[in-house]
């Protein structure tokens, strides 16, 4: 296995796809509210991408049937959009990938529905901090283990856990490229980060146990103890100037 290193032109292609994803998340942040269904969100995202000359790369990927993954409360990831209205106090993670001219960008974000409980706010805050702690390590010369260690340390120090059943990944022409980006790790271990690598970092943090199971639909991952999960994901380029977040909007 080898890393597909990207040129500046390649990175600029991924960034263009990333800007669509970022703008879509920003639009969602204003429209997600009690009563909205994840099916409506899914249709909005698909239309948003198509109107901008991109398409939702998750749809049809390994048979996945929707433009987005919509994971509510104890759903860890890969939830199916459905017609159940979101309720005040829920959280929902919307994961999406835009393909623009063959370049892909991937980002997931957890949204609070109305007023969430303080413990849930903390879960979301820590998951987001864990992502940004990981991103800080995404520099030339650092190793993948440094990213995983930073994420795990943040989550566990705050009393949360990191799901190890799913990982980030290289991204570019394909949605999932080498290497796998684990969200736990040992400093100084794993492959060294090089200029031109483009990866996703996408920790899933849980309030209870981090063990998961896959539902009978073959996709929906849930915590076994029904504890809630939050996930934040960005697509990041490793550059001479440090980590460059290609899906940033907040």
List residues binding ligand MF3 (CB under 6 A). Answer: 58, 61-62, 64, 69, 78, 95, 97, 106, 200, 202, 233
Which CB, 58 or 137, lies closer to ligand MF3?
58
- Regarding 71 and contact with Co ion (CB under 5 A), the answer is no
Tell me the C-alpha distance between 76 and 238, whole Å: 27
Tell me whether residue 59 or residue 122 sits nearer to ligand MF3 (CB atom). 59
Q: Phi, psi at residue 10, to the nearest 5°?
A: -60, -45
**CA 161 → CA 134, 182, 230, distances in Å?**
15, 14, 11
Question: Residue 106 interacts with Co ion (CB under 5 A)?
Answer: yes
Which position's Cβ is nearest ligand MF3?
64
Alpha helix stretches (DSSP H) within 52-139: 118-136
| Nearer Cβ to ligand MF3 (19/78) | 78
Asked if 73 is part of the footprint of Co ion (rule: CB under 5 A), the reply reads no
Name which of 34 and 218 has its Cβ closer to ligand MF3: 218
d(CA 241, CA 174): 25
Closest listed residue to residue 162, CA positions, set 136, 110, 199, 126: 126
Position 200 contacts Co ion (CB under 5 A): yes
Where in 19-120 does DSSP place strands (E)?
55-56, 68-72, 75-77, 91-100, 103-112
Are 14 and 246 spatial neighbours (Cβ–Cβ below 8 Å)? Answer: yes
Told to check if 177 binds Co ion by CB under 5 A, we report no
Chosen from Co ion, ligand MF3, none, partner binding at 99 (C-beta under 5 to 8 Å by type): none
42 binds, among Co ion, ligand MF3, none (CB under 5 to 8 A by kind): none
Q: From the list ligand MF3, Co ion, none, which binds 78 (C-beta under 5 to 8 Å, kind-based)?
A: ligand MF3
Classify the phi-psi angles of 242: left when phi > 0, otherwise alpha if psi is within -120 to 50, otherwise beta: left
Q: Minimum distance between the CB of residue 200 and Co ion, rounded to whole angstroms?
A: 4
Rank residues 30 and 62 by Cβ distance to ligand MF3 and give the closer one: 62
CB of 202 to Co ion, least distance (A): 5
DSSP code of 81? P
Residue 132: which of ligand MF3, Co ion, none does it interact with, CB under 5 to 8 A by kind?
A: none
Q: Which residues pair with 108 in a beta bridge?
A: 95
* Whether the Cβ atoms of residue 227 and residue 235 lie closer than 8 Å to each other: no
> Which residue in 33, 167, 16 sits closest to 112, CA to CA?
33
Tell me, by CB under 5 A, how many residues bind Co ion: 2
Residue 200 or 210 with smaller CB distance to Co ion: 200
Residue ranges in contact with Co ion by CB under 5 A? 106, 200
């Amino acid at each position: 296995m080898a890393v597909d290193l990207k040129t500046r032109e390649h990175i600029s292609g991924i960034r263009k796809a990333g800007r669509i994803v970022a703008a879509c998340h920003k639009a969602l942040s204003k429209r997600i509210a009690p009563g909205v269904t994840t099916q409506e969100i899914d249709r909005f995202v698909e239309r948003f991408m198509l109107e901008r000359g991109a398409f939702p790369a998750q749809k049809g990927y390994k048979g996945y049937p929707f433009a987005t993954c919509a994971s509510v409360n104890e759903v860890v990831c890969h939830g199916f959009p459905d017609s159940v209205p979101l309720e005040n106090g829920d959280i929902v993670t919307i994961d999406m990938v835009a393909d623009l001219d063959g370049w892909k960008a991937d980002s997931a974000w957890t949204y609070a529905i109305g007023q969430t409980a303080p413990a849930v706010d903390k879960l979301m805050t820590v998951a987001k901090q864990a992502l940004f702690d990981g991103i800080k390590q995404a520099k030339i010369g650092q190793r993948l283990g440094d990213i995983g260690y930073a994420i795990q340390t943040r989550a566990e120090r705050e009393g949360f856990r990191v799901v190890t059943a799913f990982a980030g990944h290289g991204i570019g022409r394909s949605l999932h490229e080498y290497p796998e980006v684990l969200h736990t790790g040992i400093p100084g271990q794993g492959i060294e980060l090089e200029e031109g690598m483009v990866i996703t970092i996408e920790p899933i943090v849980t309030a209870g146990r981090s063990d998961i199971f896959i539902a009978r639909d073959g996709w929906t991952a849930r915590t076994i103890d029904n504890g809630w999960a939050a996930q934040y994901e960005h697509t990041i380029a490793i550059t001479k100037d440090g980590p460059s977040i290609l899906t940033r909007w907040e």
